[in-house]
Amino acid sequence: MIDLAQLRREPDVVKAALARRGVTSSTMDEIIALDARHRVLLHDAEGLRAEVKELSRQVGEARRAKDAEVADALTLESRTLGDKEREASDATEVVARELNERLLMIPNLPAPEVPDGLDENDNVELRRWWVGMDAGVALPTYAEHQRVAHWEIGVQLGILDLESGAKIAGSMFPLFRAGGARLLRALGFFALDRHMADYEEIRPPSFALTETMMSTGHLPKSADDMYAIERDGLWAIPTAEVPLTSIHRGEILDEAKLPIRLTAQTACFRREAGAAGRDTRGLLRVHEFDKVELFAYCTPEQADAAHADILSRAEGLLQSLGLTYRVLNLCCGDLGTSSARTLDLEVFSPGVDRWLEVSSVSWFRDFQARRANVRYRTSDGSTALVHTVNGSALAWARIWAALVETYRQADGSILLPDVLAPYLGGETRITSRPS
């Protein structure tokens, strides 16, 4: 949630920043007017409350003085004012609720480094990496046997069974078999081992309360893209970012302990409601996938370093896996609701001849912390909202696809990178699964 105090203090600055994200000036003017009305109503209600309290004190004095006539008159006046105070409080609450609902739909202010633009076509490529680039090797070329889509390879080797997944749960719920399942498991262990020295490993619940989903900004704006379990008031998490952000919800942290770094691998659930009909083949867009998330609570001064560390770790994993990738600076029109700045990592997958997003590394300023009410106590005893940073390191469905396509051999087998050998019992070649 944006800083209402900043909106009051610098309305033109906030409106100009949000205009880059498509929020109209009139929308913000309506919110400013609601805020002004709420403050007037709140002032009036508090004034009436103070009068009622004073009358109650006077009634007590009259009772003690055994002046029943004055006490009764003051009691009647107090009741009348009490009714007015309740009406004023109710009116204040109605406006406060409307103001909060409007604010919950307003995105974060974009950082100055975020380029202008309407959608993904306006994202700015910052750099690329491929094996051998330091030695001046040109962009990699791919043989015909690598130009086969992963869903075809999966069927040939018996390691990806989309039909069974659809039979069990419906389309876009993949089922991995044999070497394909082991590869997925190996990737998670590989990444977690890389992070465990500096990030505390967490295994959070796969479901979250509405309040938890609200804290990250996934609700209410993205409700249509989430899986709801209405009977129990729960939501299937779309990313481990959701539970990690709320671990310290409502708490005041010790500044000396910041940054607090956490990592988790979880299943992630997304309805992909806004992408109906697009990228439905194979693993390009699925409803459930595993992902390792990196997350940090930090001070504003620590945010840049925390963001850079997560990005570096995600890139390091891709380099260790030998996958060609590029880094994109997302434009204003492609930023997530809560993000102030996001850098995406996309790997090149030769079988589908496409760049596939496998990580988003985002800085949220205090946008999420304001929703979750996570603060820290400074050395002078005051409190301030933390900043939150998170990123994927990495999302495995598309990494799985890129690995299977990139490392397919001429004989149809897959020869995986040696870094995965310790997690595959030393065997890095995937061949046909015995029938």
What CATH number did the domain enclosing 316 receive?
3.30.930.10
Query: SS3 for the chain, per residue?
Result: CCCHHHHHHCHHHHHHHHHCCCCCHHHHHHHHHHHHHHHHHHHHHHHHHHHHHHHHHHHHHHHHCCCHHHHHHHHHHHHHHHHHHHHHHHHHHHHHHHHHHHHHCCCCCCCCCCCCCCCHHHCEEEEEECCCHHHCCCCCCCCHHHCCCHHHHHHHHCCECHHHHHHHHCCCCCCECHHHHHHHHHHHHHHHHHHCCCCEECCCCCEEEHHHHHHHCCCCCCHHHCEEEHHHCEEECCCCHHHHHCCCCCCEEEHHHCCEEEEEEEEEECCCHHHCCCCCCCCCCCCEEEEEEEEEEECHHHHHHHHHHHHHHHHHHHHHHCCCEEEEECCHHHCCCCCCEEEEEEEEECCCCEEEEEEEEEECCCHHHHHHCCEEECCCCCEEECEEEEEEEEEHHHHHHHHHHHCECCCCCEECCHHHHHHCCCCCEECCCCC
pLDDT, one tens digit for every residue, the chain (435 residues): 999 999 999 999 999 999 999 999 999 999 999 999 999 999 999 999 999 999 999 999 999 999 999 899 999 999 999 999 999 999 999 999 999 999 999 999 999 999 999 999 999 999 999 999 988 888 899 999 999 999 999 999 999 999 999 999 999 999 999 999 999 999 999 999 999 999 999 999 999 999 999 999 999 999 999 999 999 999 999 999 999 999 999 999 999 999 999 999 999 999 987 666 667 789 999 999 999 999 999 999 999 999 999 999 999 999 999 999 999 999 999 999 999 999 999 999 999 999 999 999 999 999 999 999 999 999 899 999 999 999 999 999 999 999 999 999 999 999 999 999 999 999 999 998 665
Helices 178-195 & 150-157 angle (0-180, nearest 10): 120
Q: Which of 104, 137, 163 is the last residue of a domain?
A: 104
Residues 45 and 143 in one domain: no
Residues 91 and 217 in one domain: no
Q: Which of 71, 104, 137 is the last residue of a domain?
A: 104
Residues 333 and 282 in one domain: yes
Domain contains 114: no
> Domain containing 80: what range?
4-104
Residues 213 and 129 in one domain: yes
Residues 82 and 126 in one domain: no
Domain contains 28: yes
Residues 240 and 288 in one domain: yes
Domain contains 331: yes
Residues 303 and 215 in one domain: yes
Whether residue 109 contacts residue 14, with contact meaning beta carbons closer than 8 Å, is answered with: yes
Number of domains in the chain: 2
CATH of the domain at 12: 1.10.287.40
Pairing between β-strand 252-254 and β-strand 124-129 as defined by DSSP bridges:
unpaired
Residues 289 and 357 in one domain: yes
Residues 170 and 300 in one domain: yes
Domain contains 435: no
The 10 Å CB-count burial string (b at 16+, else e) for 10-36 is: eeeebbebbebbebeeebbeebbebbe
Domain contains 115: no
Rounded Cα distance, 372 and 328, in Å: 29
State residue 435's pLDDT score: 55
pTM of the model: 0.93
Q: Which of 53, 73, 104 is the last residue of a domain?
A: 104
Residues 32 and 136 in one domain: no
Domain contains 110: no
Domain contains 111: no
Residues 97 and 127 in one domain: no
Domain contains 109: no
Residues 261 and 380 in one domain: yes
Rounded Cα distance, 144 and 49, in Å: 79
